[in-house]
């Protein structure tokens, strides 16, 4: 039997341009602005989790690597992920 999560009411203030885009997406997909916000938040959280997992995987590969060129490449990639370009 699946566990049903109880929704929690949350107030969010959005910049005007983003609010317009949300309403437009809701209208074009024939759903509520609330549903669009939930979907965007869920996909953003999932993307953040994937980025974290990718970082941890690369750090693990760096720790196991014996090849100096691969180590340098992995260090550079981890630095880009951490600090940007």
In this predicted model, what pLDDT tens digit does every residue of 52-77 receive, in sequence order? 999 999 999 999 999 999 999 999 99
φ, ψ dihedrals at 15, nearest 5°:
-60, 150
Q: What is the C-alpha radius of gyration for the chain, rounded to an integer number of angstroms?
A: 20
pLDDT of residue 16: 97
Tens digit of each residue's pLDDT (9 = 90 or more) over 9-56: 989 999 999 999 999 999 999 999 999 999 999 999 999 999 999 999
What pLDDT score does 40 carry? Answer: 96
How many angstroms separate the CA atoms of 54 and 36, rounded? 27
Q: Above 90 in pLDDT, residue 5?
A: no
Task: From residue 21, give the alpha-carbon distance in Å to each of 18, 51, 74.
Answer: 5, 26, 38
């Amino acid at each position: 039997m699946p566990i049903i999560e109880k929704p929690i009411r949350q107030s969010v203030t959005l910049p005007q341009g983003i609010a317009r885009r949300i309403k437009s997406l809701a209208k074009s997909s024939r759903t509520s602005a609330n549903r669009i916000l939930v979907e965007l938040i869920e996909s953003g959280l999932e993307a953040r989790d994937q980025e974290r997992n990718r970082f941890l995987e690369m750090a693990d590969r760096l720790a196991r690597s014996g090849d100096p060129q691969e180590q340098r490449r992995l260090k550079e990639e981890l630095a880009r992920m951490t600090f940007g370009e």
